[in-house]
């Protein structure tokens, strides 16, 4: 009997095999393998990335806090007495219970209910009941040092009001992690003080990366989201601007409005979506107030791994993407406006929540499409792969919406971070 020989292979189950070097084939196993999901927690969410936690304007005052997640790990981000930011894993240093039990609040100290261990807002242990015992009871040993039992603290940084944290001591400072290709576009939106307008949450039966690649994929926009075309909103010949960071993990795409658009491109292609005749009775909520130098109907920017910045018409949101196991994710739309909004512009932003969100006219289909992928790939993960060929022969093109270039670049970056070699790399190393 040789049990060792029989059980040598299972470690390979967290491997994924990308047959092409350019990210144009993605093995479906990355979307449903529990082993790969576990490896992502370790290499991505606990690894050298900055994860988006929320907006600074959600916690404006000392003591304000919110509970959220980095990957699977529950974390709390809070503003401490001097106004600076702190974040810690929401797990008592004693027995592991969640310390903070509410979504939001204000507190200068946090107490675990289980044995009332008490922590400062910064996460330092400051009180242990019966530490010195009582009467004949001895309490904690003499060498128990509270300084060694703080909550697990994270590095926190914010960039123009966007809050990020990391478990990594090695990852570069946040502005370098974002990169100049991304900060110039973040600056476009976050160029003046913002105010928080509330959030909506969506829970989908799909892998988190399906949403991430969806938001890097302008090719689907006019084909899946038929509201645009049914009511004459977006046309295929809109001008695009796309870019990504040096690793391909972050990306940005803008649709620039061109005045001379017409319906020909759709009718020529006989795309199912174009129908003359449907008109909105009240299209006032689609108004667009020019706020930026360049008039873009959509500015969608992905910051790996937990953030998608959205400007659609005048609706502004930071979408927080939270993985919930290999086949579920939660998406939190954090809506905001500018502090100097006129009442009319603020009202328009609120009304345009009808456009993008879990019930949004031009966003509701994304979760539907993602769930269809998750359903379609069951049982065939390792041997089948998605096909990302659109505009592959023009890898440097930056002005087309009919492109899967950002998606391919993303998968190349993902492979590197996950330590997955592509077939051609293996071949060339032989």
Residues that bind another protein (CB under 8 A): 103-104, 196-205, 224, 226-227, 230-231, 275, 278, 280-282, 285, 330, 333, 335, 350-351, 353-354, 357-359, 361, 364-365, 367-369, 371
35 vs 107 by CB, closer to another protein: 107
Q: How many CB atoms lie within 10 A of CB 134?
A: 9
104 vs 132 by CB, closer to another protein: 104
39 vs 319 by CB, closer to another protein: 319
CB 238 within 8 A of CB 297: yes
43 vs 334 by CB, closer to another protein: 334
Compute the least distance from the CB of residue 398 to another protein, in Å. Answer: 29
Compute the least distance from the CB of residue 340 to another protein, in Å. Answer: 17
Compute the least distance from the CB of residue 364 to another protein, in Å. Answer: 4
Q: How many CB atoms lie within 10 A of CB 129?
A: 11
Compute the least distance from the CB of residue 278 to another protein, in Å. Answer: 6
108 vs 347 by CB, closer to another protein: 347
CA atoms within 13 A on the CB side of 195: 10
62 vs 358 by CB, closer to another protein: 358
Cα(149)–Cα(131) distance, rounded to whole angstroms? 13
What residues have CB less than 8 Å from 32, skipping those under 6 apart? 207, 326, 327, 374, 377, 378, 381
* Beta partners for residue 51, in sequence order: 165
The length of the chain is: 430
* Beta partners for residue 79, in sequence order: 85
Nearest to 88 by CA among 177, 150, 173: 150
Give the H/E segment covering residue 321.
strand 315-323
Compute the least distance from the CB of residue 194 to another protein, in Å. Answer: 13
Q: Which tokens in the block code for residue 356?
A: 């993008």
Compute the least distance from the CB of residue 427 to another protein, in Å. Answer: 41
């Amino acid at each position: 009997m040789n049990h060792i020989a029989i059980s040598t292979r299972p470690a390979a189950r967290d491997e994924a095999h990308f047959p092409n070097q350019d990210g144009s084939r993605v093995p479906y196993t990355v979307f449903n393998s529990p082993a790969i999901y576990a490896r992502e927690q370790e290499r991505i969410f606990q690894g050298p990335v900055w994860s988006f936690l929320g907006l600074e304007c959600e916690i404006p005052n000392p003591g304000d806090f919110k509970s959220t997640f980095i990957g699977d790990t529950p974390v709390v981000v809070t503003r401490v007495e001097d106004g600076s930011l702190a974040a810690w894993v929401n797990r008592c240093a004693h027995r592991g219970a969640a310390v903070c039990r509410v979504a939001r609040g204000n507190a200068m100290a946090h107490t675990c209910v289980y044995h009332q261990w008490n922590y400062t807002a910064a996460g330092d242990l400051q009180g242990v009941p019966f530490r010195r015992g009582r009467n004949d009871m001895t309490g904690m040993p003499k060498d128990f040092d509270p300084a060694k039992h703080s909550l697990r603290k994270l590095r926190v940084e914010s960039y123009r009001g966007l809050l990020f944290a990391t478990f990594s001591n090695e990852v570069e400072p946040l502005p370098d992690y974002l990169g100049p290709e991304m900060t110039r576009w973040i600056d476009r939106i976050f160029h003046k003080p913002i105010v928080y307008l509330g959030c909506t949450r969506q829970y989908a039966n799909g892998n988190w990366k399906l949403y991430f690649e969806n938001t890097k994929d302008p090719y689907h926009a006019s084909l899946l989201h038929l509201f645009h075309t049914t009511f004459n909103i977006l046309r295929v010949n809109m001008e695009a601007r796309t870019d990504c960071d040096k690793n391909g993990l972050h990306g940005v795409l803008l649709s620039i409005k061109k005045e001379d658009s017409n319906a020909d491109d759709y009718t020529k292609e006989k795309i199912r979506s174009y129908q003359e005749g449907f008109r909105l009775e009240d299209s006032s909520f689609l108004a667009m107030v020019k706020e930026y130098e360049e008039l873009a109907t959509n500015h969608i920017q992905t910051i790996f791994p937990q953030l998608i910045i959205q400007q659609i018409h005048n609706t502004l949101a930071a979408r927080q993407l939270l993985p919930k196991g290999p086949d579920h994710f939660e998406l939190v739309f954090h809506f905001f406006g500018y502090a100097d909004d006129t009442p009319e512009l603020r009202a328009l932003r609120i009304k345009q929540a009808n456009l993008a969100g879990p019930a949004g006219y031009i966003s509701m289909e994304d979760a539907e499409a993602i769930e269809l992928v998750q359903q379609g790939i069951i049982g065939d993960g390792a041997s089948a792969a998605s096909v990302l060929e659109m505009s592959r022969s023009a890898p440097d093109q930056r002005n087309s919406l009919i492109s899967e270039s950002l998606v391919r670049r993303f998968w190349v970056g993902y492979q590197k971070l996950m330590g997955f070699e592509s077939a051609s790399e293996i071949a060339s190393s032989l």
